[in-house]
Copies of this chain bind each other. A is one copy, B any other.
């Protein structure tokens, strides 16, 4: 007999009621008496559990009654409705096959565990309600992103993970090497695997721009790395990033794309994981569903950085860091703008060139660049993007100003020599998006096996 998934039972109940079925899963709880008992199992296909009722007509009644939480079992029996119970149905077991036993020292007994503790058993935590929900939603968001771009005929590009250049100086990098660094001899860079110094990528953007100049609309979705010694709830050394890049497009087009994408992802998750989202709203972040519904139903606002600074300065007394033209916005500023001033997502545009990367397009004022950050209530910045500098001479000048070596970027400059176009793009930190959509507040709790400073297990 084919094993039926619990999700199937919930979604297509009518096909199975009063029929003989086989189900399989891991025991979440056991309640036994002398002649009958209840098992609650979860099979991982669905957020909800399935109740199994059994009695001493099964051939291993004694053994089943003593099973530990975590045990894997396969049950054959009949699915019956339970109109007076919380759950819609249960399985009346005729046979319970013990697939793999657990033990009384199983770390996930039926009680609440702290997220901190669960991080130490990251190999088991997806078996809990919270992490089952987090990692299913993570998977769904990933799919929503691919579907969004595929529906729009974007080409998915795998930009390289091992890279030879720091590119934009976006942060501290990890070095990648096959040299014997523990020996006594001084290392010889030219003997390294690639014949030179190599690092883990901090962004695929410069690489993917080359593909935007061939396919028009492209995106990356892959891991990126920062070797920053920051022990916060929002930083990890290894995280995934989505970076679309669009040709024959300007900052306005870029913002339209970002808004459509974010709304698409949220709608996708609300539709495809209603049980998980209700759980997050009930137990993790009370206002979550209201906040997300507000985002999908509002038209995102726009304001220039210069105008934003004026508004913020009226409230400078209440900020730890005073807002001032020329400085980057702090999270407190960002949240004030999106939560108090606009009460909805807002794009801040046209930042001072000196606080932004060299590749962002210089505006006609000579002082600002065509950059945009998307701020959302509850978080602050979630997306950062820009129109790219397509003018060869201005780009070279900006690289000089930033002390970058032109020769390292010969191929990037080539794009401006051979049919350059207006183009733009943005980056979305995948884990930031998951945190935003689930309400989870620590990045370690949305990555299966997180890597942070001094912390690498599993």
Contacts and interface: CB of A to CB of B under 8 A. Distances in A.
A146 interface: yes
Contacts of A350: none
Contacts of A70: 418-419
Given A102-B418, A175-B176, A215-B45, A155 B127 contact: no
A161 B238 contact: yes
A213 interface: yes
A223 interface: yes
Interface in A100-156: 100-103, 106-107, 121-124, 126-127, 131-132, 135-136, 138-139, 142-143, 146, 150, 153, 155-156
A45 B227 CA distance: 37
Contact of A143 (B102, B139, B156): B156
A184 B182 contact: no
A455 interface: yes
A29 interface: no
Given A139-B156, A146-B146, A449-B159, A416 B178 contact: no
A309 interface: no
Interface in A153-168: 153, 155-164
Given A194-B454, A214-B127, A451-B162, A174 B182 contact: no
Contacts of A174: 162, 176-178, 193
Given A24-B248, A100-B416, A159 B448 contact: yes
Interface string A1-41: 00101010000000000000000111100000000000000
| From A99, A138, A187, residue with most partner B Cβ within 10 Å | A99
Given A411-B458, A419-B27, A153 B99 contact: no
Interface stretch (A195-203, A257-265, A374-382): A195-203
Nearest to A417: B103
A313 interface: no
A363 interface: no
A179 interface: yes
A399 interface: no
B139 A157 contact: yes
Nearest to A101: B419
Nearest to A160: B449
Contacts of A295: none
A222 B239 CA distance: 12
Interface string A392-422: 0000000000000000000110111111111
Most buried by B among A24, A74, A195, A449: A449
Given A101-B419, A160-B238, A419-B100, A132 B411 contact: no
Contacts of A240: 158
Contact of A198 (B3, B163, B216, B456): B456
Contact of A177 (B99, B181, B453): B181
A380 B190 CA distance: 36
Interface of A: 3, 5, 7, 24-27, 43-45, 70-72, 74, 99-103, 106-107, 121-124, 126-127, 131-132, 135-136, 138-139, 142-143, 146, 150, 153, 155-164, 172, 174-179, 181-182, 184, 186-187, 189, 193-196, 198, 200, 207, 210-211, 213-217, 222-223, 225, 227, 229, 237-238, 240, 247-248, 390, 411-412, 414-422, 447-449, 451, 453-458
Given A24-B247, A103-B417, A210-B458, 14 more contacts: A5-B153, A5-B216, A44-B215, A100-B390, A106-B419, A123-B412, A126-B210, A126-B211, A127-B214, A135-B155, A142-B156, A161-B238, A194-B456, A222-B223
* Ranked 4 nearest A-B pairs via Cβ: A126-B214, A44-B215, A100-B420, A44-B216
16 contacts: A24-B421, A26-B214, A71-B419, A106-B419, A123-B210, A124-B214, A126-B215, A158-B223, A158-B448, A160-B451, A174-B177, A175-B179, A175-B181, A194-B237, A194-B453, A210-B458
